[in-house]
Amino acid sequence: MNILAIDIGGTKLAAALIDANSQISQRLEIATPASSSPQALEEALAQLVAPYQGKAQCVAVASTGIIDQGILTALNPDNLGGLNQFPLQQTLQRLTALPCTVLNDAQAAAWAEYHYLADRFKHITFITVSTGVGGGVIINGQLLTGPHAFAGHIGHTLADPNGPCCGCGRTGCVESIASGRAIAAAAQNELQGKDARQIFSAAQNDNLQAKRLIIHSAQAICQLIANLKAILDTECVVLGGSVGLAQGYRQQVEEGLALLPPPFHIPVFAAHYKHDAGLIGAALFAAEQNQ
């Protein structure tokens, strides 16, 4: 059986077919529409799923936002071009005429990475540093979603009470300092208007401001990991997202963590499934729900 998996992020929409062995094929990617209109997202999803007609038996979605009872509610609408409410499950069922399972993107990625690590760990936390900062928590082998599907939104915990305003309405959230959008928003002078990818290349070329912006982000993630260890006694952290997986980023997080007292030390791994963790986790979750 093939599952059509879809990953909806603040920057890109990805889709692929996933078979019963979690093998991925026919992967496609398009840009997330920069519009607050639900119609724009629906049109983009229609374009994305069109090539898969007749190729899958069900649809599994990993999406940015709080995904509760099939509805996407943005905690930080800025990440989705201002879009706030979207009937995700219903829309994809209509577009594909297939049953559809929906989950938050970082929760889905956590589930995939847990499957990979399950022989060694039962308590893991996945952190995506991408357009935003998201999280998925596995406790005793169970994915924690919470009564309102809000669990794991660790990007909206406090990093700096004097920090920037976050798109969620709070001040100084981890996401407002560490995310790809935050790195770009803090850039000045020669880096103003550049995106996080360009700022990472500037850092490779020894631009000092770029290096400082990236270290600032990595330090916020390092403190977040220490908080997670204290709250959950999580056994390891898995880092994903294009910023989290960027060259040298994980090492900076690890270096910061090594400076904290030993009770806060935990291994920090790069996502085994890299940019496909959300797709694979959504498919695994859907297959288990449909059993």
| Residue 181 interacting partner from ligand BMX, ligand ADP, Zn ion, none (CB closer than 5 to 8 Å by kind) | ligand ADP
Cβ burial of 31 (10 Å; 0-12, 13-18, 19+) is exposed
C-beta separation of 177 from 217 below 8 A: yes
- Binding flag, residue 195, ligand ADP (CB under 6 A): yes
Residues numbered 125 to 164 that lie near ligand BMX (CB under 6 A) are 128, 130-134, 153, 155
Pick from 2, 22, 64, 91 the residue near ligand BMX by CB under 6 A: 64
CB of 171 to ligand BMX, least distance (A): 15
- Binding flag, residue 234, ligand ADP (CB under 6 A): no
C-beta separation of 14 from 7 below 8 A: yes
Non-local CB neighbours of 74 within 8 Å, separated by 6+ positions: 64, 65, 66, 80, 83, 84, 85
Nearer to ligand ADP, 72 or 226 (CB): 72
- Closest residue by Cα to residue 77 from 36, 45, 112: 36
Pick from 89, 101, 104, 157 the residue near ligand BMX by CB under 6 A: 104
Pick from 76, 130, 176, 234 the residue near ligand ADP by CB under 6 A: 130
Cα–Cα distance for residue pair 39/61, rounded to 1 Å? 18
| Residue 197 interacting partner from ligand BMX, ligand ADP, Zn ion, none (CB closer than 5 to 8 Å by kind) | ligand ADP
The CA-CA-CA angle for residues 138, 24, 2, to 5°, reads 95
Nearer to ligand BMX, 2 or 48 (CB): 48
Host H or E run for residue 49 = helix 38-49
Number of residues engaging ligand BMX in binding (CB under 6 A): 22
Nearer to ligand ADP, 79 or 96 (CB): 79
- Closest residue by Cα to residue 120 from 106, 136, 137, 141: 141
> Binding mask 235-274 vs ligand ADP (x if CB under 6 A, - otherwise)?
------xxx--x----------------------------
CB of 161 to ligand ADP, least distance (A): 25
Cα–Cα distance for residue pair 34/62, rounded to 1 Å? 19
CB of 33 to ligand ADP, least distance (A): 12
N residues, the chain:
291
C-beta separation of 125 from 238 below 8 A: yes
Q: Which amino acid is at 246?
A: A
Contact positions vs ligand ADP (CB under 6 A) = 9-12, 130-131, 180-181, 195-197, 200, 241-243, 246
Contact positions vs ligand BMX (CB under 6 A) = 9-10, 64-66, 74-76, 79-80, 104-106, 128, 130-134, 153, 155, 175
